[in-house]
Amino acid sequence: MDMIFQLPLSINSLQKTALICGVSGQDGALLAKLLLSKGYHVVGTSRDAQASSFSNLERLGIGSDVELVSMSLSDFRSVLQVVDKTKPDEIYNFAGQSSVGLSFEQPVETLESHATGTLNLLEVVRFLGGDIRIYNAGSGECFGDVGSISANEKTPFYPRSPYAVAKAAAFWEAVNYREAYGLYVCSGILFNHESPLRPARFVTKKIVKAACRIANGSGETLKLGNLSIKRDWGWAEEYVDAMWRMLQQNEAEDFVIATGQSNSLEDFVNQAFQVVGLDWREHVVSDESLLRPSEIMENKGDSSKAKDKLGWKPTLLMNDVIQKMIEAELK
Catalytic residues: 139, 141, 163
Q: Tell me the C-alpha to C-alpha distance, in Å, between residue 219 and each of 94, 118, 212.
A: 37, 45, 11
Instruction: Specify the amino acid at residue 254.
Output: D
Tell me which residue of 59, 187, 62 sits closest to 114, measured CA to CA.
187
Q: Tell me the C-alpha to C-alpha distance, in Å, between residue 112 and each of 13, 24, 73, 102.
A: 36, 19, 10, 14
Q: Bridge partners of 289?
A: none
Evaluate whether 67 touches 7 at the Cβ level (below 8 Å): yes
What are the helix (H) ranges across the chain?
26-37, 55-59, 76-86, 100-103, 107-111, 117-128, 162-181, 203-215, 236-246, 265-275, 304-310, 318-330
Tell me which residue of 60, 75, 58 sits closest to 3, measured CA to CA.
75
Q: How many C-alpha atoms does 10 have within 13 Å on its Cβ side?
A: 1
R_g (Cα) of the chain, nearest Å: 20
What is the three-class DSSP state of 252?
A: coil
Evaluate whether 145 touches 92 at the Cβ level (below 8 Å): no
Tell me which residue of 6, 4, 50, 44 sits closest to 25, measured CA to CA.
44
**For 114, which DSSP code?**
I
Q: Bridge partners of 190?
A: 139, 257
Region of 144 (left: φ > 0; alpha: ψ -120 to 50; beta: rest) is: left
